[in-house]
């Protein structure tokens, strides 16, 4: 490491204010677990009191799941050149089944370390990686199947519950009104009212959920992916040959998790893939995924036919020792499926899939990923890297949806899942793509049947091809639906899809669209507590608690900005209208008038009467009066 | 009229370039009907030839439905102070059942005409309105039920077919590949392969579709709303007390139809509602809707309790004589339903609904809209104004979805539909609102059952409350689904929903989200020809015909702008990659390489061989070679 910080290091020493200023209205809180070093980060949104005019009552703080890590915690000291605190290091050490390595195992990794030309871009504070001791299997699935509840599993259980227990009973007994929720339709999911560590263990043991947490990524805040948990989203970052440097990618990471990405994939295909990834993982509180074939392809200068199992194997180890939490591996692109794509409208749209197809054809051999799959499992289980079995043959347009190539690969992924589970390697299955709405359900049903309920992780799907520039929307529609049907994680699509590399604004837009899709899915599934935030926000809206409404939204900054475009003054935050309708036409204002009027007319039922009850009584009394006076209800015709 | 044009008139004399420049890649075309004055405007998107590298073939021009009117036709002469040509005037006159009035019928209208203070804002070129001759009923439903196919019905049939017949058979017989489409799931709709004027007549006669076309809006290009036709969208414009003048609203109209609004509602609640509406209708090629209670409320200075049937009646006539094509009338907000909203989280969120609720409570009487409903029908049928029966009690948050107030009103709307149909008044039914996904289907089923299959016209629905700033997306999800289930028209929601009056950018964003939802619904329903545009665009994408891809998209300007952010040069439009992946990693580029390679290896089958077949044969040959060589397919485990 140089004594003098490089320009990159200097840049990194300050993240821009836009990615670290606290999220308006929220403060970081921690829920305590069963041991002092188990503190689960969440966000708490305070609310103001309901105005006396509308009944005057306290409104509870709302706890929400938080992916933004220490970056939005004003008490945290951020130093990107040092990386985040190693939250899980002690838990990993205590398990006693891993040991630090004397050096890097991968050839490529060692070569990079010694290359002085990379000093300016290398992450400064690297420590030696760990690996399983001989014969040990260190995956969360391995522990789960042995009945062990790890600290990671406990962390996740606390995190998923979002401190709903604080909403307790309303004064006078009964459920808190904010907990009121429509029954869901979960298509056979099994979501308990309260997530316990034991439930987490059981779901992981069955393979129905995964907890991606490489032993070399101790900085990560544990999270879980599975249909019986909150629906998760993934954002993609990463440079290409045509765009973007390391500092920009790190900032995209922090930006992405600020807005709500549960996981991030680094899909870099440009310069310094290895170094970029190191900076990202060391500073990421969320699991990081990669597609190792990209870097393998870079090592052979873009000539797919020159890929070998050995190069790929070394790449897996290199990346596992950096701490990548899951690998997308297109082991289902078999030689016999490639001809099935010949007549497709858009062929093979997966980068990894097209690379493997090219290799298979050039060598006229079966995929080396498929052939060496068990050896891959041996590597994964030594570090606890999870599989994301890639959908290399996903449809890239509506016309190609649900074709033989796509479903053939899915069947093979099911076969590979069984093999992975033989090794207790955590596994999720990637999915489409471009699928019109009437064909989405079939994808979910087939995946459940073929893959033993392993978590499904789809890219959208896009429900039409005709809107380049708006594919975050074409796909949010499909993603919400497939999330409802049981998909566990939704990979985001930005407005730049099909057109270019996304910038920060695109990343934000993509994440917002996907947070919406994921939450819409949770509501539809009837996920316990999902409706709390909707209820709280709508109550705030109805009571004209504008700041509370903004703070409870997914994007408090945008909501306020939009409101203030036409009504910017502080006094406007107390206004009982906005510029949509103005003071005379605001329906909620008029509704409040109506309730007040009716309450004034109703019986005096004492000071504890519920305002809604009094209004209802008042209105009903008036209606009764009307009928009793003999006025017939007009019945035309 | 003043000799000297007012500032408003001067402003109007030039629409900004942004709303009138031709849509990139499109040209206006006209399909001829059975008479010389029946020419249906559409847009044709030319395509370039497939590069020789990829097979070298012509690509047909694609015809798409076009709502933009003469504004995007470089041959049209636009003069906003004169209004659009009266396309339908002769058809109306020929029917012989209407006559021009000697003056305006409504008191208010006459008062406005004489008020010199309004000279500067009055539309200059007004002519006298028409009305049905005594005893005549001039609705399209009335004609339809008498077996008459009007020119409007013929226009609509041609328009809906989108000149699909031009795609004819591919060389060598069989369907054109662009016509390939996945079978849909239409939940019992009855969409024929080809729309005939007789089919249109029958759908209108049954009440399953409406063709909104006031005899005083002869400038409108006929369009149809019904589940067996293309899914339509509506955009809202209009000022409020807090924002926006006449020129801005006219520009919003032209902007909205440019991007694809099938209908526009003028929801003005601010100054000069009457004059604003005149400018809008005279210049609108699409049907215009209003909510007459808003203007009625303005006439009583915002005091809902001072509304009377007489004021409302005069307002209906005033607006009908201007040419409004459909009225939203909240005749289902009955006294007995109002108490059912007392315990709601967001009460009554419909402006009209809250106004009527206030009136009913204040007078403790049944709604005057309900009481006088048949008199309203008598007015409507004299001008052919359609009902949009308002959902004044729609849910304004997830918690209130599908409650007794909402469904009670829906039942009453069903009852009122029957009455309207007794008078042959065209009728559609408005719908929600905020509804979580698992509750959407119930809305459609109930509406079909209660309202005799009258077209459903929903506002979204929004599938979650938690994303102010992004409600075009929360609602596009619900809109796509309810469109799939059978909703005929989707009323858009912009990013400004709940926060303020939308500006031009918001209008564009809302329309794009809703064009997406409507098209996704058409695909899912299996609407004949819906997939043509998706197929054409995806083929262009795969062949790196960048400009064709942009031109075929819903928003050619944005697609190109996004692409050019990172790859702006002309040469880039020939590039076989974009900045997402760069030249080595573009999967479609690699796929093309794979196909080329395989075709090179395959049999020489003669110059007419289909490239896909040759590639498939080549790849299959390689795979067979592999197996024949004795190499076993590795079968792990």
* Chain A residues with CB-CB distance to B622 below 8 A: 335, 361, 364
CB contact under 8 A, B619 and A338: yes
Paired sense of beta strands A263-266 and B209-210, if any? unpaired
Cα distance between residue B499 and residue A309, in whole Å: 56
Residue from A555, A502, A474 nearest B512 by CA: A474
- B565 chain-A contacts, CB cut-off 8 A: 500, 503
Check B637 against A419: CB less than 8 A apart: yes
Interacting residues of A173 by C-beta distance below 8 A, sequence separation 6+:
none
How far is residue B356's CA from residue B312's CA, in Å, rounded to a whole number? 12
Write out pLDDT tens, residues A119-147.
Answer: 888 998 878 999 999 989 999 999 999 99
Nearest neighbour of B631 by CB, restricted to A365, A559, A633: A365
Average pLDDT, chain B: 91
Asked whether the beta carbons of residue B364 and residue A523 sit closer than 8 angstroms, the reply is: no
- CB distance A345–B539 less than 8 Å? yes
In chain A, what residues touch B468 (CB-CB under 8 Å)?
A: 537, 549-550, 553, 559, 562
Residue B620: pLDDT band by 50, 70, 90 thresholds? low
The CB density around residue A300, as the number of other CB atoms within 10 Å, is: 13
**Looking at residue A536, what is its pLDDT?**
98
Question: pTM for the whole thing?
Answer: 0.94
Q: How far apart are CA A497 and CA A503, in angstroms?
A: 11
Least confident among A176-180, A394-398, A600-604, B371-375: A600-604
Q: Which residue has the higher pLDDT, B171 or A44?
A: A44
Taking residue A100's Cβ as centre, other Cβ atoms within 10 Å add up to 10
Separation in Å, CA of A267 to nearest CA in chain B: 9
Task: For residue A419, list chain B residues with Cβ-Cβ distance below 8 A.
Answer: 636-637
Of A305-314, B112-121, B396-405, B419-428, the one with minimum mean pLDDT is B112-121
Q: How far is B400 from chain A (nearest CA, A)?
A: 9
Is residue A142 marked as binding?
no
Reported confidence tier of residue B614, pLDDT bands at 50, 70, 90: low
- Reading the block at residue B221, the tokens are 């290009």
> Is the model's pLDDT at A601 over the cut of 70?
no
Interval B207-230: pLDDT, tens: 999 999 999 999 999 999 999 999
B383 is in an annotated binding site: no
**Minimal C-alpha gap between B314 and chain A (Å):** 21
Q: How far is A547 from chain B (nearest CA, A)?
A: 12
Edge-to-edge strand list for the sheet holding A26-32: A26-32, A39-45, A62-64
Q: What is the mean pLDDT of residues B355-368?
A: 94
Min Cα–Cα distance to chain A from B452, Å: 18
Which of chain A's residues have a Cβ under 8 Å away from the Cβ of B399?
Answer: 180, 182, 531, 534-535, 538
Convert the pLDDT of each residue in A485-528 to its tens digit.
999 999 999 999 999 989 889 999 999 999 999 999 999 999 99
Rounded percentage of chain B residues whose pLDDT exceeds 70: 91
Cβ contact, residue pair A397, B538, below 8 Å: yes
Confirm whether residue A87 is marked as ligand binding.
Answer: no
Lowest mean pLDDT, pick from A6-10, A603-607, B412-416: A603-607
Contact B500 A562 (CB under 8 A): yes
Partnered with residue B42 across adjacent β-strands are: B29
Q: Do B437 and A531 touch (CB under 8 A)?
A: no
What distances in angstroms separate CA A62 from CA A46, A74, A171, A523, A552, one per listed residue? 7, 19, 17, 17, 8
Contact across the interface for A582 and B357, Cβ inside 8 Å: no
Strand-pairing partners, residue A32, are A39
Q: In terms of C-beta density within 10 A (0-12 exposed, 13-18 middle, 19 or more buried), how is residue A365 classed? A: middle
Eight-class DSSP state of B240: B
Instruction: Name the region of B264 (left: φ>0; alpha: ψ -120 to 50; beta: rest).
Output: beta
Residue among B515, B459, B25, B502 at smallest CA distance from B251: B502
Q: Which residues in A lie closer than 8 A to residue B302 (C-beta atoms)?
A: 584-585
Q: Residues, chain B, total?
A: 637
Best residue in B273, B377, B473 to probe A by mutation, most A CBs within 10 Å? B473
A167 is in an annotated binding site: no
d(CA A526, CA A516): 15
Tokens at residue B181, please?
A: 């489409």
* Lowest mean pLDDT segment, chosen from A489-503, B157-171, B591-605: B591-605
Interatomic CA distance for residues B89 and B455, integer angstroms = 27
Say if residue A268 carries a ligand binding annotation.
no
pLDDT score of B371: 98
**Shortest Cα–Cα distance, B537 to chain A (Å):** 7
So what's the pLDDT on residue A4?
59
pLDDT at B129 over 90: yes
Q: Which residues of B touch A476 (CB under 8 A)?
A: 473, 476-477
What is the pLDDT confidence band of residue B241, given thresholds at 50, 70 and 90? confident
Q: Do A358 and B583 touch (CB under 8 A)?
A: no
Crossing angle, helix B587-601 and helix B611-628, to 10 degrees? 70
- What string of H, E and C letters represents the secondary structure of B261-290? CCEEEECCCCCCHHHHHHHHHHCCCCCEEE
Please tell me the number of Cα atoms within 13 Å of A321 on its side-chain side: 26
Nearest residue on chain B to A238, alpha-carbon basis: B580
Mutation target vs A (from B587, B592, B630; most A CBs, 10 A cutoff) = B587
- Nearest of B364, B165, B627, B266 to residue A334 by alpha carbon: B627
Pairwise CB contact (< 8 Å): B477 & A474: no
pLDDT at A637: 32
Chain A residues with beta carbon closer than 8 angstroms to that of B623: 335-336, 338-339, 364
Long-range contacts of B606-612 (CB under 8 A, 24+ apart): B611/B54, B611/B55, B612/A342, B612/A343
Beta-carbon count within 10 A of A171 CB: 10
Q: Where are the beta strands (DSSP E) in B102-181?
A: 130-132
Say which range, A75-79, A268-272, B211-215, B435-439, has the weakest mean pLDDT.
A268-272
Looking at beta carbons, which residues of chain A come within 8 Å of B587?
A: 347-351, 353-354, 396
Q: Between chains, do B549 and A468 touch, taking CB under 8 Å as contact? A: yes
Indicate yes or no: CB of A354 within 8 angstroms of CB of B587.
yes
pLDDT tops 70 at residue A631: no
Distance from CA of B37 to the nearest CA of A (A): 33
Is residue A351 marked as binding? Answer: yes
Predicted pLDDT of residue B623? 58
- Contact flag A348-B590 (C-beta cutoff 8 Å): yes
Per-residue pLDDT band for B566 (boundaries 50, 70, 90) equals: confident
Using a CB-CB cut-off of 8 Å, the residues of chain A touching B512 are: 467, 469-470, 473
Distance from the A416 Cα atom to the nearest Cα atom in chain B, whole angstroms: 9
Using the predicted structure, report yes or no on whether residue A245 has a pLDDT greater than 90. Answer: no
Which one is predicted more confidently, B151 or B81? B151
d(CA A13, CA B457): 54
Better-predicted residue by pLDDT, B504 or A141: A141
- Selecting from B474, B513, B567 the residue whose C-beta is nearest the C-beta of A500 gives B567
Residue A71 has pLDDT above 70, yes or no: yes
How many CB contacts within 8 angstroms connect chain A with chain B? 504
pLDDT at B372 over 50: yes
> pLDDT grade, residue A630 (50/70/90)?
very low
Interval B38-44 mean pLDDT: 97
Phi first, then psi: give them for residue B451, nearest 5 degrees. -115, 20
- pLDDT given for residue B573 in this prediction: 78
Is B521 in Cβ contact with A465 (below 8 Å)? Answer: no
Q: What mean pLDDT comes out for the span B38-66?
A: 95
Query: Residue length, chain A?
Result: 637
> pLDDT tens digit string along A446-464?
999 999 999 999 999 999 9
pLDDT of A96: 98
- Separation in Å, CA A236 to CA A68, A355, A511, B468: 16, 19, 10, 24
- In this prediction, residue B18 has a pLDDT band, given cuts at 50, 70 and 90, of confident
Supply the pLDDT for residue B219: 98
pLDDT in tens, B438-497: 999 999 999 999 999 999 999 999 999 999 999 999 999 999 999 999 999 999 999 999
Nearest chain A CA: its distance from B204 CA (Å): 23
What percentage of chain A carries pLDDT values higher than 70? Answer: 91
């Amino acid at each position: 490491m140089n004594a003098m910080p490089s320009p990159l290091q200097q840049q990194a020493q300050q993240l821009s204010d836009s990615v670290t200023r606290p999220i308006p209205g929220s403060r970081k809180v921690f829920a305590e677990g069963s041991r002092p070093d188990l503190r689960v980060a969440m966000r708490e949104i305070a609310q103001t009191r309901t105005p006396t005019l509308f009944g005057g009552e306290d409104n509870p703080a709302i706890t929400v799941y938080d992916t933004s890590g220490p970056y939005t915690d004003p008490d945290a000291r951020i130093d990107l050149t040092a990386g985040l605190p190693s939250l899980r290091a002690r838990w990993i050490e205590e398990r006693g089944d891993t040991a630090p390595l004397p050096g890097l195992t991968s050839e490529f990794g060692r070569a990079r370390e010694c290359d002085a030309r990379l000093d300016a871009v290398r992450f400064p504070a690297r420590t030696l990686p760990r690996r399983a001791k001989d014969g040990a299997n260190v995956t969360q699935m391995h522990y789960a199947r042995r009945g062990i509840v790890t600290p990671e599993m406990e962390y996740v259980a606390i995190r998923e519950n979002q401190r709903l227990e604080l909403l307790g009973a309303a004064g006078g007994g009964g459920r808190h009104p904010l907990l009121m929720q429509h029954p869901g339709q979960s298509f056979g999911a099994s979501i308990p009212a309260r997530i316990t560590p034991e439930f987490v263990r059981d779901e992981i043991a069955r393979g129905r959920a995964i907890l991606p947490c490489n032993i070399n990524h101790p900085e990560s805040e544990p999270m879980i992916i599975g249909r019986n948990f909150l629906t998760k989203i993934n954002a993609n970052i990463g440079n290409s040959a045509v765009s973007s440097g390391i500092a920009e990618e790190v900032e995209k990471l922090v930006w992405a998790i600020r807005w709500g990405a549960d996981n991030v994939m680094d899909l870099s295909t440009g310069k310094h893939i290895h170094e970029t990834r190191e900076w990202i993982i060391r500073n990421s509180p969320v699991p990081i995924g990669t597609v190792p074939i990209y870097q393998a392809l870079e090592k052979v200068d873009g000539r797919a036919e020159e890929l070998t199992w050995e190069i790929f194997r070394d790449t897996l180890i290199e990346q596992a020792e950096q701490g990548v939490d899951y690998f997308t591996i297109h082991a289902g692109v078999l030689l016999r499926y490639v001809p099935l794509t010949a007549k497709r409208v858009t062929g093979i749209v997966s980068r990894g899939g097209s690379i493997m197809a090219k290799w298979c054809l050039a060598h006229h051999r079966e995929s080396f990923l498929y052939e060496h799959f068990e050896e891959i499992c041996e590597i994964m289980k030594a570090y606890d890297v999870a599989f994301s079995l890639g959908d290399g043959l996903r449809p890239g347009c509506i016309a190609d949806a649900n074709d033989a190539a796509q479903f053939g690969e899915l069947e093979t992924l099911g076969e590979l899942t069984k093999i992975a589970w033989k090794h207790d390697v955590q596994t999720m299955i990637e999915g489409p793509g471009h699928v019109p709405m009437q064909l989405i359900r079939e994808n979910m049903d087939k995946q459940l049947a073929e893959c033993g309920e392993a978590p499904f992780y789809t890219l959208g799907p896009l429900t039409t091809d005709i809107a380049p520039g708006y594919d975050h929307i074409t796909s949010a529609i499909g993603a919400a639906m497939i999330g409802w049907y049981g998909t566990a994680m939704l990979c985001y699509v930005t407005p730049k899809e099909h057109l270019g590399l996304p910038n920060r604004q695109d990343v934000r837009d993509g994440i917002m669209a996907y947070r919406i899709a994921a939450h819409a899915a949770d509501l539809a599934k009837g996920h316990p507590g999902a409706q709390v935030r909707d209820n709280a926000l709508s109550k705030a809206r109805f009571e004209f608690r504008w700041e509370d409404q903004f703070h409870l939204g997914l994007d408090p900054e945008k909501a306020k900005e939009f409101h203030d475009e036409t009504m910017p003054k502080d006094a406007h935050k107390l206004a009982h209208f906005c510029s949509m309708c103005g003071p005379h036409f605001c329906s909620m204002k008029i509704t409040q008038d109506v309730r007040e009027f009716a309450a004034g007319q109703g019986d005096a039922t004492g000071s504890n009467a519920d305002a809604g009850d009094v209004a209802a009584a008042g209105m009903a009394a008036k209606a009764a009066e009307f009928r009793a006076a003999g006025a017939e209800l007009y019945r035309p015709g």
